[in-house]
Structure 1
Amino acid sequence: MADQQSEQGAKRERDPVTGLLEGDDGNQRCWWHGGLDDYQKYHDTEWGWPVDEDRRLFEKICLEGFQSGLSWLTILRKREGFRAAFANFEFEKVARFTEADVERCLNDSGIVRHRKKIESTINNAKRAIELKAEFGSLAAYFWSFEPSPENRPEKIDFETARTLGKTAESTALSKDLKKRGWSFVGPTTVYAFMQSMGMVNDHLEGCCCREPVEQARTDFTRPVPL
């Protein structure tokens, strides 16, 4: 998570040992939101909560691709612009985009104007249609790569969290997506997607969101292929 001091004042300081940061409400949270209001809201209400909605899954994996080389906060603050530019990430609609749509996006200051990433989103929409036809839903496909409990760290402390840039499961998912023609889906990008969509719970021990997220994952009904 990149430092955003230049974007919105000074960030709060995390505890150097636990990686936790205390908010105005007295709650301890993972450090990476830096106390920024919009970033903290994302941390509390989205990151790590399990998702089985195809549109949201497609949106997130595309936005993770756009993030490559940037910070997630940059993408988060442009998310509404991306939704407007890419038909709210309804992949059946995005798959029908033409070269005119590529040019329109390249002239849209509300998004990251990167031709290859724009073209990748259109390509991946076509591949998403194929995945849905094969598995019944994108959710059924993606959740089939959820790590088993025995392959997860026993404890997600600050030291462990900093080692989780990619995993065997994210590497396997990345490899399979690439085989199916997807692009901008490297293992690190895919692991960030898995973290955010709740396929793993990487909230730190002591974070006020860790237990609620874990309970949500326990209660979550995993989608299965049709």
Structure 2
Amino acid sequence: MNECCDWTKNDPLMLAYHDNRWCQPCHDDTELFAMLCLEGQQAGLSWSTIIHKEAAIRNAFDGFDISIVARYNEQKIETLLRNPEIIRSRAKIRAAVRNAKAVQQIVSSGEFKSFDDYVWHFTEGKQIVHHLKKLSEMPAKDELSETVSKDLKKRGFSFVGPVIGYSFLQGVGVIDDHLDGCPCKAEG
């Protein structure tokens, strides 16, 4: 294992996430929404916790179908709060519902054709490839994540601070922070 994978801690699920999803450009609205919610679920926890609960979280949240999550009512929220397989935080569950409604608003406003168009407009559709030599060079947030966070909050999203925003941008491939020399690194 090279230093690029040190954060996977020899964990097969974390390694699979690193090798197959992390920093890989995503253009699917449902998956973009799912990753935003999963990153919000991570607040105060480790990404490993989320990865190990991911299948259960996705199942409990109806595959993160935006139109379904946007219609969750108090009864559904209470059902989720009783599910021991997921992160049982009322604030995080409410954030997912609120964020689903905000995604719908972005699309219905006509300003963007899709959530994908919205997410990628910040970089004009281009992936930002950082050239990092070691993990300690990787920031927790940057100017882009500050901008994205501010805009998301303005549009009614929650659990989208700049640190969560940065992790989200990595998770959906807007930012590629694989270390130089990592076989998963994008060209550029």
TM-score using structure 1 length: 0.77
Match of 2:75 among 90, 97, 100: 100
Question: Is 2:133 aligned against 1:161?
Answer: no
Moved over 4 A (4+): none
Aligned residue for 1:185?
160
Match of 2:118 among 127, 141, 159: 141
Whether the aligned pair in 1 keeps the contact of 2:129 and 2:177 (CA below 8 Å) is no
Q: Distance in 1 between matches of 2:100 and 2:182?
A: 35
Question: Is 2:147 aligned against 1:172?
Answer: yes
Whether the aligned pair in 2 keeps the contact of 1:161 and 1:204 (CA below 8 Å) is no
Structure 2: unaligned runs, 5 residues or longer: none
Q: Distance in 1 between matches of 2:11 and 2:61?
A: 27
Aligned residue for 2:10?
35
Deviation string, structure 1 residues 185-211 (Cα, Å, up to 9, x no partner): 00000100101111011000121211x
Count of matched residue positions in the alignment of Structure 1 and Structure 2: 185
RMSD after superposition: 1.9
Q: Distance in 1 between matches of 2:123 and 2:9?
A: 28
Question: Is 2:177 aligned against 1:202?
Answer: yes
Deviation string, structure 1 residues 80-108 (Cα, Å, up to 9, x no partner): 11111111101111111100001000000
Listed as ranges, the matches of 1:63-142 within 5 Å are 63-133=38-108, 134=110, 135-142=112-119
Q: Whose radius of gyration is greater, 1 or 2?
A: 1
TM-score using structure 2 length: 0.92
Q: Distance in 2 between matches of 1:159 and 1:31?
A: 9
Classify the secondary structure of the residue corresponding to 1:189.
helix
Structure 1: unaligned runs, 5 residues or longer: 1-20, 23-27, 219-226
Q: Counting helix residues as a fraction of each chain, which structure ranks higher?
A: 2
Give the fraction of aligned pairs with identical amino acids, expressed as a percent. Answer: 38
Kindly provide the amino acid, as one letter, of the partner of residue 115 in structure 1: R
Deviation string, structure 1 residues 126-166 (Cα, Å, up to 9, x no partner): 111011223110000000113898x865x21116633x111
Q: Distance in 2 between matches of 1:147 and 1:201?
A: 15
